[in-house]
Amino acid sequence: MIKLLLPDGSSRMVENWISGKELIGGLETALKKEVVCLKVNGELKDLDTQLPADAEVSLVRRSDPEALEVLRHSAAHIMAQAVKRIFPAAKLAIGPAIENGFYYDFDLPRPLTPEDLTVIEGEMKKIIKEDYPFTHRLVAKEEALASLRQAGEKYKEELVAELEDGEISFYQQGEFSDLCRGPHLPSTRYLKAFKLTSIAGAYWRGDSSREMLQRIYGTAFFSREELDHYFKLLAEAARRDHRKLGREMDLYSTDDQIGPGLILWHPKGGRIRQVIEDFWREEHRKNGYEIVYTPHLGRRSLWETSGHLGFYQENMYAGMEVEGQEYLIKPMNCPFHIAIYQSRSRSYRDLPFRWAELGTVYRYERSGVLHGLLRVRGFTQDDAHIFCRPDQMPEEIDRTLAFCLAILKAFGFKDFKLYLATRPEKSVGAEERWAAATEALRAAIEKTGLPYAVDEGGGAFYGPKIDLKIKDALGREWQCSTIQFDFNEPERFDLSYKGSDSQDHQPYMIHRALLGSLERFFGILIENYEGAFPLWLAPVQAVVLPVLPANLDYAGEVYDWLRAKGIRVELDSRNEKIGYRIREAQVQKVPYMLVVGSKEAETGQVAVRTRKEGDLGACSREELLARMEKEIREKS
């Protein structure tokens, strides 16, 4: 018997030896229309699949996440069919569904232009109208190889050659056939709302030494509304783009004279950075860290000892010669913190050390990867290194993770996802140390109760790590924080401490960054808040707006008073109408606009207008200050 699980939680027993189509034939029409494919014993299958005996079957409906994947995968096939019709010489590579849509990689006789996308879309619409069923067939491996070879599909041939011997799964719609595991939509007509979005280059199999293919990206949804919503979201992201806001709000810039990926923090960006740094230092002090400062350069031999010249050289700037010695600019701070550790002998009683530094590093990033503040060549890490004994290690990890979450929460981030990255194949360090460290990381993660995933073999070669991703206001994920063990450098620098047994022991060394880099974090903050920073971060917290030049004296008095109270306040006394100056303050996302005219001058009050709530009417200066100070304190 086949057990059919229905969406309402009930189940139905059905006779064996029927196909999926027959199975859903008995369902009510409304539900039947919703079904895209089936899940048979947990595996996605086409509707026209022959069901095995005694299977457990559930329906995949349009609203299920798997359905969207199937839709997009089928959309990729339809696109490939259209491309083949337009470019018969096109060779197919791969075409999966991805997070926000799908793509297909092609080897084409000429570069694509944006106009081609319109033509391909048109052909796709024809294919959809022609309503070909997606049919599944199994072909013997040898036969598949032969036919692909004959068709000149060398990429597909390469893929099939690597599959296990036996039957190879193909899907066909109309004249188009493609190697594919499936499943697919019942027919091409099911694709209703789609759009091709961009063309990009992509290496065959992601390998930069292999052919560069042309990738076409597209997206698809079950309804027009969902498609429109997706494009609205993209427009929203464009509005928040930190590169655009950074220029409009005069926060930062880059300059061709200086070079790409090198950031100029303007005064307003600088104010925000200073607030972040002051907060960061104070929190670190409270959490038992000591602040250290280290140079920007070090001798070649330092980087030889650390191993960076071996595994990181391609990201380091070329050295410079000084008095016959070669110096290199630092891409990381750790060797310097290690040098502090080595500056004297260390006892087990001294540990743990928690040394933090806002350390500016320079890394050569290939030109194509640079992106605003998010990917740069010079940046300041909020770095720290913890040196501790094995018995202290689990607690240090706990503390670090808790501290990390507290800091991120202060900046308004509430959604976190953790990734535990374990030992990769190529790695250094003793097995017991890896096991102990990985367990401590796992235990710390589980203590937080937050969702996490294990990235098997995703650790650095020198140690396991936790990567923490935050979700911003648009639901986009960003990685800032990382907590990493290092079994490499303590060994290379031969770090030790004297134990209670009078023997030398190697300390655990943990690298951690909470914000990651100040540049990247700043970029994320701009996008998260759409430039409308909460009061504690706002570069200009309030602007005083005299209604008339006659009110300038009183406006100056208000301005001086707030300034003296530590508020970042500006005075806009330009010869413009009050509406004009309010608009400008609003556009610049200033949280408080303080309108002062003759009425206020007489009563000693200020008329308060906030960015969020508009005109709030007049109140005393003290009331205003109390309100602002509360808002600053609560970081709201």
Is 472 one of the catalytic residues? no
Choice between 111 and 449, CB closer to RNA: 111
> Beta partners for 386?
354, 510
Q: Smallest Cα–Cα separation from 106: which of 132, 128, 76?
A: 76
**Closest separation between CB of residue 86 and RNA, Å?**
17
Cα–Cα distance for residue pair 586/212, rounded to 1 Å: 47
Residue type, 448: T
Choice between 20 and 531, CB closer to RNA: 531
Of 242, 284, 465, 568, catalytic: 465
**Closest separation between CB of residue 127 and RNA, Å?**
24
Is 284 one of the catalytic residues? no
The answer to whether 326 and 472 are in contact (CB under 8 A) is no
Choice between 203 and 561, CB closer to RNA: 203
First to last CA, the chain: 59
| C-alpha separations of 103 from 54, 88, 148, 153, 432 in Å | 37, 19, 21, 18, 43
For residue 490, cis peptide bond before it (omega within 30 degrees of 0)? no
Is 45 one of the catalytic residues? no
Of 242, 284, 308, 385, catalytic: 385
Choice between 3 and 247, CB closer to RNA: 247
Is 447 one of the catalytic residues? no
> What are residue 596's phi and psi, to 5 degrees?
-125, 120
Write the DSSP symbol of residue 486.
-
Q: Which residues contact 218 (CB under 8 A, 6 or more apart)?
A: 75, 76, 79, 101, 102, 103, 194, 195, 196, 197
Cα–Cα distance for residue pair 123/432, rounded to 1 Å: 60
Choice between 11 and 586, CB closer to RNA: 586
Cα–Cα distance for residue pair 356/461, rounded to 1 Å: 23
Burial class (CB in 10 A: 0-12, 13-18, 19+), 475: exposed
Choice between 334 and 437, CB closer to RNA: 334
**Closest separation between CB of residue 412 and RNA, Å?**
18
Choice between 222 and 554, CB closer to RNA: 554
Cα–Cα distance for residue pair 440/396, rounded to 1 Å: 9
Is 154 one of the catalytic residues? no
**Closest separation between CB of residue 76 and RNA, Å?**
15
Is 385 one of the catalytic residues? yes
Choice between 177 and 381, CB closer to RNA: 381
**Closest separation between CB of residue 507 and RNA, Å?**
22
143-149, long-range: CB < 8 A, 24+ apart: 144/168, 144/170, 144/179, 148/179
**Closest separation between CB of residue 582 and RNA, Å?**
4
> Beta partners for 380?
360
The answer to whether 490 and 358 are in contact (CB under 8 A) is no
**Closest separation between CB of residue 406 and RNA, Å?**
18
Of 334, 388, 404, 480, catalytic: 334
**Closest separation between CB of residue 273 and RNA, Å?**
14
Choice between 34 and 489, CB closer to RNA: 489
Cα–Cα distance for residue pair 179/71, rounded to 1 Å: 17
**Closest separation between CB of residue 521 and RNA, Å?**
8
> What are residue 129's phi and psi, to 5 degrees?
-65, -35
Of 511, 512, 568, 609, catalytic: 511
Is 363 one of the catalytic residues? yes
| C-alpha separations of 627 from 489, 621, 635 in Å | 50, 10, 12
Number of H helices, E strands in the chain: 20, 33
Of 383, 467, 472, 572, catalytic: 383
The beta strand positions in 165-306, using DSSP E, are 167-173, 176-179, 193-203, 212-221, 252-253, 264-265, 290-291, 297-299
Choice between 34 and 519, CB closer to RNA: 519
**Closest separation between CB of residue 241 and RNA, Å?**
7
Neighbour tally for 92: CB within 10 Å = 24
Residues annotated as catalytic (active site), given as ranges? 334, 363, 381, 383, 385, 465, 511
